[in-house]
Amino acid sequence: MDDGDVFIEAEGGVFTSLSETPYASEDELQSLLERNAGLLGGRQMDMADPVRFVLVKREPGVPADQHGGDRWSIDHVFLDQRAVPTIVEVKRSSDTRIRREVVGQMLDYAANAVAYWPSTRLRTDFEETCAARGEDPVTLIAALIDRDGDTAPDRVAAEVEDYWERVSANLQAGRLRLLFVADAIPAELRRIVEFLNERMTQTDVLAIEVRNYTGDGVRVVAPRVLGATSASERTKGSAPGPKKDVAILLEEAPAVVREACDLLDAWAADVGLVAWNHGQGRRYAWEEGDAPLVYLYPGRRSVELDFTRITDDVGEGLRRVLFGMVGKELTDKFPTVPCADLVASWDRLRADVLGPHLEATRRS
């Protein structure tokens, strides 16, 4: 058996020797990531709930001021199931800029993206990428966020809209992930990445080695995530674990969320509805298993109403009342109310929204 870096066992116990092979160009590695987001090592980032990525765009532009044109071009931007924007900068280890200059580049990109990207920029880029690939953007986001199985089109659309709102909120708050990707990460860059990751509370900074091995017509590409230290885990808190049930989410939620749940439970018992837990939310309907009238999501700290079975004019009137409570635009079919607003305006909500909603649904 020849010397090599990696060995693959074939049928009959015969091993094929593979040797590490440099990428022909930076573009080759960029193209691999564009086609295979799994090479970013999402499972290594969080073993309990692996990070899943979708490509927003390859080489999107970033402006340097509010009204100027794009000044820089990022190698890739991805999103994950938690609505966190991920900026990727790719270099080969043979490029001398990988040791220091790339760090300045990345920080320029991140700072100006947070400051000057409009909230619609990522969504427009993503939809353009989907169109070029012949894919449906709503279907891809619905699959990414791993919904609880409800496939009603209006409901899917509402959850996708909620996802994009969270993307915008994360971008504005600087909740990002910055990834330096190369065939090999120099020690100097690794230490800078660890330093930044330990001290940046809102932003994850990581390096990804994507080693390339070839031999005898076989290719193996192996990612390795670097930069997460025990100090950075203490700074940011432990990574999200497996999905929690509603009871645990309620225990961990602020008191106002539990108060909202108590109010809804008492109201449901009063008017003859049943309440049960399903997926990540609590549902309120005429019978368990029916389409719910109201959803409570402890993890999101919000309550959602289902207006799909009432007329448009009734729904519009109820939305006007809700707008006066929450002060923001609401989706037509699944308007959402923060738990804090529900508790603060409970008497009005019950009398002017939940009561008429119930009656309109009963008549439908």
**206 and 315, same domain (yes or no):** no
Q: How far apart are CA 222 and CA 23, in angstroms?
A: 13
Q: For 240, which DSSP code?
A: P
Could you tell me the two tokens for 328?
A: 């923001």
State the chain's mean pLDDT as an integer.
87
User: Phi and psi (nearest 5°) for 330?
Assistant: -125, 150
**22 and 159, same domain (yes or no):** yes
Q: How far apart are CA 272 and CA 285, in angstroms?
A: 9
- Would you say residue 241 lies in a domain? no
Q: What is the pLDDT of residues 73-129, one digit of tens each?
A: 899 999 999 889 999 999 999 998 888 889 999 999 999 988 888 878 999 999 999
- Would you say residue 10 lies in a domain? yes
Q: Choose one of 174, 203, 236: the last residue of a domain.
A: 236
Beta bridge partners of 222: 211
**204 and 302, same domain (yes or no):** no
- Would you say residue 1 lies in a domain? no
Pick the closest to residue 85 from 44, 113, 112, 58 (CA basis).
113
Q: Choose one of 191, 212, 236: the last residue of a domain.
A: 236
Total structural domains within the chain: 2
- Would you say residue 294 lies in a domain? yes
- Would you say residue 140 lies in a domain? yes
> In the prediction, which pLDDT does 309 show?
86
Residue with tokens 């427009």: 124
Q: What is the pLDDT of residues 7-59, one digit of tens each?
A: 888 777 888 889 999 999 999 999 999 999 999 999 898 877 789 999 999 99
**231 and 266, same domain (yes or no):** no
> In the prediction, which pLDDT does 1 show?
43
**Which residue segment(s) compose the domain that 353 sits in?**
246-363
Q: What are the helix (H) ranges across the chain?
A: 26-35, 42-45, 101-116, 121-133, 137-144, 153-173, 187-199, 230-236, 246-252, 255-271, 312-326, 339-344, 346-349, 355-363
- Would you say residue 149 lies in a domain? yes
Q: Evaluate the CA torsion angle 298, 306, 259, 160 in order and state its sign.
A: positive
**227 and 327, same domain (yes or no):** no
Kindly report whether the global pTM for this prediction surpasses the value 0.95.
no
Provide the pLDDT confidence category of residue 151 given band limits of 50, 70 and 90. Answer: low
Q: How far apart are CA 324 and CA 290, in angstroms?
A: 30
**215 and 253, same domain (yes or no):** no
- Structural Rg of the chain based on CA atoms: 24
Element (H, E) at 221: strand 218-226
**284 and 311, same domain (yes or no):** yes
- Residues 6 or more apart from 233 whose CB is under 8 A from it? 239
**220 and 255, same domain (yes or no):** no
Q: Taking a C-beta distance cutoff of 8 angstroms, is the pair 91, 103 a contact?
A: no
Residue with tokens 């532009």: 61
Residue with tokens 């930069």: 227
Could you tell me the two tokens for 207?
A: 């390096």
- Would you say residue 181 lies in a domain? yes
**210 and 290, same domain (yes or no):** no
| CA dist 219 → 6, 216, 322 (Å) | 10, 9, 57
Q: Choose one of 236, 260, 278: the last residue of a domain.
A: 236
**292 and 168, same domain (yes or no):** no
Could you tell me the two tokens for 337?
A: 């109310």
Q: Would you call 117 exposed, middle or buried from its count of C-beta atoms within 10 A (0-12, 13-18, 19+)?
A: buried
Could you tell me the two tokens for 209?
A: 């080695």
**292 and 314, same domain (yes or no):** yes
**266 and 179, same domain (yes or no):** no
- Would you say residue 256 lies in a domain? yes
> In the prediction, which pLDDT does 127 show?
96
